[in-house]
Amino acid sequence: MLKVVGASWLQTRISTCILAAVALLGIGAIILGEFGRWSIIEIKSSEDYPDTVQAYSTGLLEGSLTWQLIHHHWHNTIEAPCSTRESTCEKIRHHLKENREYHRKRAEVLAAKDPYWHMVSLFYTQLAGMEAGWKFAVHRSRKSVEIQSEDFLWLAMASDLPFLEDTDNKLRVNADLAGMAFLKLFNKTSGEPQITLAHNTAAPYGKMLRLLKRYDLGYHLSPSENSQVVPGRSIVMTSYPGALSSQDEYYIIENEGRELLVAGTPLAIGDHGIWSQPILKNQLTLAVRVMSTNRLATDGLTWSRHLALYNGGTASRQWLAVDPRLNSVWLVEQFPSITHAVDYSKDFVNIGFVSCTGAPMFKEIRKVAEVSRETAVMRSNEITKRQANITTPSGIADLMRGIVPDTQAASNNFSITSGTDLVEILAFRGDLYAQPFPVGVIDAKIVTAGIDGIEEFQIYSGPSFFNKIPAFNWTRTFPNEPHCGHPEAFNFGMTTPKWVWV
């Protein structure tokens, strides 16, 4: 695990060899540390260099510095699960490789005249750099480890791929719907509006090796000289080793006095077999589409329009795109081949909040999804009931972690049995069931902003714990599940990241 303790900023710099590569390839600087079990990486590049140079060198540095994290995460989420599903995994690798080659060739033709395809091209260039950086670091470490090229694609495109863990199907359905996004409007004592956007993610516990990223990259709208810098220059996202997008779908996008906050959660869909469908070579994956959208969007409207482009993949999401300076809120629901977006600003101001729990809000999406929304609706109703008593952003943090006044545990051996416990509804933990399984809510993220921009950003790592509800512990519940690089217990509090280049 890469870690910096008690070091000055200069002491956190990379080796002389990599630093030379930085100077040659146009990266401004990089810093890496670890706080509250979130590894944190920040990369800044100069707009004076060609975009392809910025993209490749960004990937090169991240792959070099996070190679151990990447290897651990790859083992936990790909190598170990695939050991018993070799045929399925080889099919996934084949589809990923075919998809990459198709879109890289298409981007070569279209990038010069279409900003969207220029961003697609840079995504794959950055990924190639990450693979090269990882191999370089492994070579220097003299370790005999290897990850095949298609698995770097897998790490980057994981949000489009199915879970491989064996779990009871009914509980698995509940787990898919356990994440949520919640936006609430407050008024400061001065009368100025203030919003808080909160989000949590449901995933296999093997994915709890986390990486908070800030990419401040001087990309341009086209490869030509004197092209304008993209609107979404700086992107902060909660992510994973080897990923180039959030995969949680939580983004803070900034550039020159403008912010756009984006949060997405999986849509509840009836046919879960859709997740096992292959990624076809002519479908852009969600990771590529959402990062291209984040770079190019100027507001919620343009964000929704860019996200709708080339929507043929398997990932279905419910999104909020928020401009805190204007109190502008766009609600977007996307199902394969269908995108529905509305300006929700007036409703948000009138109601004071909006929650996304996976239950489709739009009739056309509900009709296609054909889903029983009982779990998602239950969570939505619970949030609606409890949000009225929340008057501060800290109250939202408690809500997202399932910490509410009347949540009581009967004993130190607390377990979920009724299916209606508040912990299950608000911060799902599969390990607390009588027959435990390693899937649940693995984090919480809360950003507060106003008319002057971002005011506070807080993140939590690991399943929720409080009172007599114990912290998650691998040894106690799943000692044989792959969790390389993880701590044994996830008993961490809130972390507020501090960036060097702001």
Predicted pLDDT of residue 10:
29
Average pLDDT rounded to a whole number, residues 70-88: 94
Q: Which two tokens stand for residue 69?
A: 């994290």
Closest to 459 in 3D by CA, of 445, 478, 442: 445
Q: Which two tokens stand for residue 114?
A: 């279409």
d(CA 465, CA 479): 19
How many angstroms separate the most distant Cα atoms in the chain?
A: 66
User: E strands, 113-258, where?
Assistant: 180-187, 193-200, 202-204, 210-216, 234-239, 250-254
Angle among Cα 283, 114, 214 to the nearest 5 degrees reads: 75
> For the CA atoms of the chain, what is the radius of gyration?
22
Average pLDDT rounded to a whole number, residues 132-143: 91
- Percent of the chain exceeding pLDDT 90 equals 61
| 139-180 tens-digit pLDDT | 988 888 899 999 999 999 998 886 654 444 444 545 656 899
| 26-54 tens-digit pLDDT | 565 566 677 879 999 999 999 999 999 99
Who has greater pLDDT, 116 or 165?
A: 116
CATH number of 10-490: 3.60.60.30
To the nearest whole number, what is the mean pLDDT of the chain? 85
Predicted pLDDT of residue 71:
97
| 305-323 tens-digit pLDDT | 999 999 876 678 999 999 9
Predicted pLDDT of residue 468:
78
For 128, the 3-state DSSP assignment is helix
Average pLDDT rounded to a whole number, residues 325-334: 95
| 214-227 tens-digit pLDDT | 999 999 999 998 89
Which residue bears the tokens 């770079």? 295
pLDDT band (50, 70, 90) for residue 243? very high
Closest to 295 in 3D by CA, of 233, 383, 372: 233
pLDDT band (50, 70, 90) for residue 374? low
Q: Which two tokens stand for residue 209?
A: 């090796």
Predicted pLDDT of residue 252:
98
| 473-491 tens-digit pLDDT | 999 999 999 999 999 999 9
Whether pLDDT at 302 is above 60: yes
Looking at this protein, which amino acid is placed at residue 375? T
Predicted pLDDT of residue 313:
66
Domain ranges of the chain: 10-490
User: E strands, 188-313, where?
Assistant: 193-200, 202-204, 210-216, 234-239, 250-254, 259-266
